[in-house]
Amino acid sequence: MTKLAPPRSGDPGLRRAFEELRAKEFSRLDESGYVYLDYTGSALYAESHLRDHEDFLEHHVLGNPHSENPASAAATRIVEETRRDVLDFFGADPSDFAAIFTANASAALKLVGEGYPFGPGSRFTLLEDAHNSVNGIRAYADRRGAETTYLPLDEELRRDGSVAIPPAGDGPSLFSFPAQSNFSGVRHPLSLAEDAHALGYDVLLDAAAFVPTSSLDLGAMPVDFACVSFYKMFGFPTGVGALLARREALARLERPWFAGGTVDFVSVGNRIHRLALGAAGFEDGTLNFLGIAALQSGLAFLREVGMERVRSRVGDLTTRLLEILGGVRHANGAPAVRLYGPTDGVDRGGTASFNLLDAEGHIVPYGDVERAAGLEGIALRGGCFCNPGAAERALELPDDQMLECLEAIPPGSFSLRSLAECLGGDIAVGALRASVSIPTTDGDLDRLEAFLRDTTR
């Protein structure tokens, strides 16, 4: 597979344009002196997005959908308009795809897991780099007698190409992979969807970390299900995600329950119900209709900025971030940073995970560094970032010793600190993560570099 370098603009005008956008839409960062480097955790909302939604709420009366009164009808209209806009943004033809609104990407994945018709002979295949919300699907697969297979990662935390994707099982089989790693920023090739389809799988794409800074065209790839979370794309609102599903694949899911709004009818006396067709049959209870009303403005903001321009800008920032992490050294010349994943910007997004090292090469506890950065107004994230497979591979955690410790730590007492104490020795059980996006400036990265150099003196 040919690796693609990130698009480098080579144009100082692009840098100036994003700096002007920062001053216009994210001025609160500079007013507070805050360096925000946790965009993989959550995007920041643009000020114009917030103003647009406030104006919308001030001039509209929206009520609970599923009724014909004027307020309800207005909310229903907004929801359906937004549904079409979301599909358009991701290149999904409404005749082929449905957009199901959920509380977040995890809820979207749960819909697939609980409804997928796993059975004896089925196979669930996924990358070790899966987010926990994808890992959780194995609980449904295991319960129904399906086989779960993990594909390993190589030293760069990319999929190990020497291990082939196994063919689908005799029963319905599901293949899942993240378009971009939540841990390392690695972008796994979207061609994996075609490879898995050719082997007989349905394909579930975790796009949550990918779509905030790159365009996704679902109409151009054989993906059956994809999940997104809108606060990761444009910061507001929280509590709204979506499952984007091919209608023919959606029809194969078997819902284990029903709720308000998901049914055409329910009879108590006759113990019968009928699920609504399409998206409505999967949207449990009252939708977050006020939050959904904010999505079109957020999508319009990303369209105006331009996703290719975003990708180019983030590529430049990521290269600079990696140069900073690779260049910090102690007075004795020893490297002060251990980077996990690729050391260059090829086939990766704007996320980098790392740990600091002392002058003797011992890992500095990530929590100490995270707290020290916070005192300097710098927001990093510490932990395993809900990606245990990538973390275990990157940190070289010993499986046997890990199992003993995980079973020995009493319920309710687990923490990464308790795990580290149990493992003992110089073993890191977590890392730091810095991520960049639309509002990031070179000044932010200058602040990070100065902090790292001061910390490792």
Mean pLDDT for the stretch of residues 140-147: 98
Is residue 298 predicted with pLDDT exceeding 70? yes
Of the given ranges (23-27, 213-217, 271-275), which has the lowest mean pLDDT? 271-275
Is residue 8 predicted with pLDDT exceeding 60? no
How does residue 425 score in pLDDT terms, banded at 50, 70 and 90?
low
Which amino acid appears at position 244 of this protein?
A: L
Rounded-to-integer distance, Cα 35 and Cα 20, Å = 17
Rounded-to-integer distance, Cα 450 and Cα 448, Å = 5
Query: 327-386, pLDDT tens digit by residue?
Result: 999 999 999 999 999 999 999 999 999 999 999 999 999 999 999 999 999 999 999 999
pLDDT of 7: 46
What percentage of the chain carries pLDDT values higher than 90?
86
How does residue 418 score in pLDDT terms, banded at 50, 70 and 90?
confident
Contacts of 70 (CB under 8 A, 6+ apart): 61
Is residue 278 predicted with pLDDT exceeding 80? yes
DSSP bridge pairs for 337? 356
pLDDT of 4: 45
**Burial zone of 402 (CB within 10 Å; 0-12 exposed, 13-18 middle, 19+ buried):** middle
Beta strands in 144-269 (DSSP E): 147-151, 174-178, 202-206, 225-229, 241-246, 263-267
Q: Which domains does the chain have, with CATH numbers?
A: 12-44+306-384+430-455 (3.90.1150.10), 64-304 (3.40.640.10)
Is residue 281 predicted with pLDDT exceeding 60? yes
Query: pTM, whole model, 2 decimals?
Result: 0.94
pLDDT of 311: 97
Is residue 412 predicted with pLDDT exceeding 90? no
Rounded-to-integer distance, Cα 258 and Cα 120, Å = 25
User: What phi and psi values does residue 271 have, to the nearest 5 degrees?
Assistant: 50, 50
Mean pLDDT for the stretch of residues 269-295: 94
Write down the catalytic residue from 384, 386, 405, 422.
386
pLDDT of 10: 60
Mean pLDDT for the stretch of residues 76-97: 97
Ramachandran region, residue 78 (left: φ > 0; alpha: ψ -120 to 50; beta: rest) = alpha
Structure-token match 């790159």, residue found: 214
Write down the mean pLDDT value for the chain.
94
How does residue 208 score in pLDDT terms, banded at 50, 70 and 90?
very high
Of the given ranges (82-91, 257-266, 309-318, 344-353), which has the lowest mean pLDDT? 257-266
Query: 48-72, pLDDT tens digit by residue?
Result: 999 999 999 999 999 999 889 999 9
Of the given ranges (3-12, 39-48, 181-190, 443-452), which has the lowest mean pLDDT? 3-12
Is residue 78 predicted with pLDDT exceeding 90? yes
Of the given ranges (85-89, 206-210, 257-261, 377-381), which has the lowest mean pLDDT? 257-261
Q: Is the dihedral of CA 302, 221, 132, 290 positive or negative?
A: positive
Mean pLDDT for the stretch of residues 243-271: 93
> If DSSP codes are grouped into helix, strand and coil, which group holds residue 378?
strand
Would you give the end-to-end CA distance of the chain in angstroms?
A: 41
Rounded-to-integer distance, Cα 284 and Cα 263, Å = 10
- Residue 386 designated active-site: yes
pLDDT of 426: 73
Query: 222-251, pLDDT tens digit by residue?
Result: 999 999 999 999 999 999 999 999 999 999
Query: Beta strand 431-435 with 351-356: parallel, antiparallel or unpaired?
Result: antiparallel
What percentage of the chain carries pLDDT values higher than 70?
98
